[in-house]
Structure 1
Amino acid sequence: MNLPKISITTVGLRIAIPALLLITTGTHALQPSDEARKLIDEWVETRQIISKERSEWQIEKELLGKTQALLDSEVRRLDSELADLKASESATDAERSGLTEDKEALKSAAAVVGDSIGSLETQLKEIIPSLPTPLIEKIKPLIRRLPDDPSDTDLSLGQRVQNIVGILSQTDKFNSTITLTSEAREFDSGKVVQVTTLYMGLASAYYVDDSGVNAGIGTPTANGWNWTAMNDHGGKIKQLVEIYEGTGEIQFVDIPAQTTQL
């Protein structure tokens, strides 16, 4: 007897199994033939394979779904970072533009300063002799840095500006305070006496020795300070010094004053 050919597909199995049962029912209803049993085993095995493949496909489907979700999340993250980067680039461009404008403004300002700094240095050198000796001693390192020829110097523009600012700053500070100092003063007789000098800013100064015998007043000139003896006022000048030092009683002291127009 020729049995129908069994197919692996589900449709073939559905056709083959009923036909097999019809055939076996008519011949050996209680004891299926070996060939029929073999076909049934193959059918069962095929069903198991199909079930296994379906199970594996379900697992793969779930993995693919999770992978897809992960990739979608990564794409969204990259899109967000790209948007942030573009925004940052825009901000950077604006900042760069602002810095460029600032740089050009500084260049223009530097050009103006560069054109006038030589004149400022020359003027400073001209007024230095009229400054009080204690101030000159203090700013001497800055004075040395003033170029002999402003048009030919190795100093940068920044260094030259800093030097001028330093001199003017110390000069302004001295001018706004009273300065007490001890000096050795030589008189016309050739005698050198240690005196205490009280500078009233840059305008004038009074000196007196410990005995109160040698005293006088000083005023600035273009070539240095001019000192005039006022020995008759030695006691009052000494009293003024003591008031400043805090050792004398605070009171009004009547002494002559002088000013000089430079």
Structure 2
Amino acid sequence: MQRFIKSVGAVILLSSFSSLADPVSELENLVNQWLQIEQQTSELETHWLEKKTSMQQTLILLDAEQTQLKQLNQNRQKNTSELAEKRTALIKKQSQLETDENALNSQLIQLSQQLRSLQVQLPPPLLASWQSIGDLDNESLDANEKLQIALKMLGQLADFQNRISIHEMAISNSEGKEIWVKQLYLGAAQAWFVSNDLSYAGIGFPSELGWQWQFDTEIDGEQIAHGIAVQEKKQAAHWLTLPVFSYAAKELTP
């Protein structure tokens, strides 16, 4: 496994020198965007937990103060100025709670928008996982439920990005024919595929138009099949030669 990862790393390093600058920059921007979102999410989650505890404590205090105010009214105490001050403080606390809730909702809306903008570029298996978690546009969900969905999505993205994975699905070639292939994903930004009989092979990568699958007869299907077999622990690892970002740059160039 380590030899396979080293081999892919070596190929990525070599191919990066021959690739065009723009797609590499786009990929770096995409990774940086994911990292920024993860950082924002961590801050949002921390902020939410702090505010949730604070709001719960405040509500308990508010209930106690309201009970006290009712008792004061019932006893017709003369000190109406104190009662007025307590009412004023209660209104201020309620106003602060509403402000905090609005701030949380605003941050959650921003995070949801960023996640939606990433969806189109996700690999199909990861996109399907996100869709099964929930819908951030569902207006029936409260802020806490939407936050939990967002956190799960980011957790799956981080897990997919940090490992090599194998998936199977049917993809259409240029003639519209459905081909069943196995796919080897290197994180969420690079993939290769090959059919069972090795007659079809190609590469997958994210673009502005969404995730792209590209068939190519020049790609060695045996290399991809071996990489998949190594990942599935069916064969011993050895050096592999696979196209990486330079290929994606070539395909996206007008």
Does structure 2 conserve the Cα–Cα contact (< 8 Å) formed by 1:127 and 1:222?
no
Q: Decide which of 140, 153, 160 is 1:174's aligned counterpart.
A: 160
- Shift in Å, 1:110: 4.3
Note the 1:84-123 alignment, pairs <5 A: 99-100=57-58, 107=97, 110-123=101-114
Is the Cα–Cα contact under 8 Å of residues 173 and 215 in structure 2 kept in the other structure? no
Match of 1:132 in 2: 123
Per-residue CA shift, 1:40-83, capped at 9, x if unaligned? xxxxxxxxxxxxxxxxxxxxxxxxxxxxxxxxxxxxxxxxxxxx
Deviates more, 1:229-238 or 1:177-186: 229-238
Whether 1:147 and 2:137 are equivalent positions in the alignment is yes
> Is the 8 Å Cα contact of residues 193 and 209 (structure 1) preserved in structure 2?
yes
> How many correspondences in the alignment?
159
Residue in structure 1 matching 2:191, options 187, 191, 205? 205
- TM-score normalized by the length of structure 2: 0.55
Once the two structures are superposed, what CA deviation does each residue of 1:117-173 show, in whole Å capped at 9, x if it has no partner? 112112211211111111121221334x2117xxxx332111111111111111111
Which residue of 200, 203, 211 corresponds with 1:214? 200
TM-score for the superposition, normalised by structure 1: 0.54
What does residue 237 of structure 1 align with? 224
The alpha-carbon distance between structure 1 residues 141 and 238, as it changes in their structure 2 partners (threshold 3 A), is closer
Residue deviations 1:213-232 (CA, integer Å, cap 9, x gap)? 21011101233211222333
Return the offset for 1:113: 2.0
- Asked if 1 retains the 8 angstrom alpha-carbon contact of 2:229 and 2:235, the reply is yes
* CA–CA distance in structure 1, aligned partners of residues 103 and 113 of structure 2: 17
- Is there any run of 5+ residues in structure 1 with no aligned partner, and where? 1-95
Structure 2: gaps of 5 or more residues? 1-53, 62-92, 250-254
Which residue identity is paired with 1:147? D
Q: Which one has a bigger Cα radius of gyration? A: 1
Which letter does structure 2 place at the counterpart of 1:142?
I
Paired letter, 1:122: Q
Residue deviations 1:182-235, cap 9 Å, x none? 111110022211110011111110000112121011101233211222333112
Aligned identity (percent) is: 23
Please, what is the CA RMSD of the aligned residues?
2.9
